[in-house]
Amino acid sequence: MSALVRLRLAGFLRTGRALAPVLAGLLALGVLYGGGRARPAEAYGVSAVVLFPVLAWQTKILLDVEPDGQRRLARVLVGPAREHLAGLLAAVVAGLGTVAVAMVFPWLVGGVTGTTGPGDRPVAAGVALGLWAHLLALPAAVAVGALASRAITRSAGYGVVVLTLGVVGVLVLGLSGSVAPWLVPPVLPTARALTGELAIASGLLLTAWASAWAAVALTGYAWSRRTRP
């Protein structure tokens, strides 16, 4: 299965299709950090929200690079479960690369400040919380991108619709706060939590919420792939 993961990552990189989401992410982050310096936790919390659509789009592109015939052949050779998992693992690896860029980028452009005042979080704690926010957003973004992939939707047009509705739904319901918040992953609630003191109980609740949502969405993806090879 590791060979299949490497094959899909190689196809994603060598075809040049990895450039579009990376450039889009850098552009979005450049606009985000162009307004001045912020403390790490707050800046990274918003960065995770901004990158959510990029990570979902990146996942869709990666899963759509492989021709349908090659995907079906891989399904026969390694089995359906391993073929599904290989695609998701490749998307997670690619997403971790994007997250790594997002963690370093603000320091290069002066978007965050290392100066702390009384009552402020230490810089290291802010960076750790920012990484946590990105890692909470990543599985949900991979799930949305996977559900929008050609293997599920069967056409590029339907895939774009599913991706758009998924991303917009996460952002709109996340902004509303009180309207069925559990229907979407806690991307925006996590960003809000990082603007103030984050209690351990709140952090655990957000982690459980994000994990449960991603697990349900990925289970739906796996179930759909059973009937759509």
- The per-residue pLDDT for range 46-96, each reduced to its tens digit, is 999 999 999 999 999 999 988 767 777 767 777 777 888 888 999 999 999
Q: What is the distance between the alpha carbons of residues 9 and 86, in angstroms, rounded to a whole number?
A: 10
Q: Does the pLDDT at position 17 exceed 90? A: no
Q: What share of the chain is helix, strand, coil (3-state, %, to 5)?
A: 80, 0, 20
- Which residue, 93, 97, 105, is CA-closest to 47? 105
Question: Looking at residues 26-48, what average pLDDT do you find?
Answer: 85
- Which residue, 179, 178, 147, 191, is CA-closest to 165? 147
Q: What is the mean pLDDT of the chain?
A: 86
Per-residue pLDDT tens over the stretch 191-218: 999 988 888 899 999 999 999 999 999 9
Query: Residues 95, 53: contact at Cβ < 8 Å?
Result: no
Q: Does the pLDDT at position 229 exceed 70? A: no
Q: What's the number of CA atoms in the CB half-sphere (13 Å) around residue 127?
A: 14
- Cα→Cα distances 70→78, 93, 123, 227, Å: 12, 21, 47, 17
- Which residue, 212, 214, 227, 224, is CA-closest to 92? 214
pLDDT > 70: percent of the chain = 92
**Which residue, chain included where needed, has tokens 């592109």?**
61
Query: Residues 41, 130: contact at Cβ < 8 Å?
Result: yes
Q: Does the pLDDT at position 98 exceed 80? A: yes
- Which residue, 172, 195, 170, is CA-closest to 184? 170
Question: Which pLDDT band, with edges at 50, 70 and 90, does 178 fall under?
Answer: low
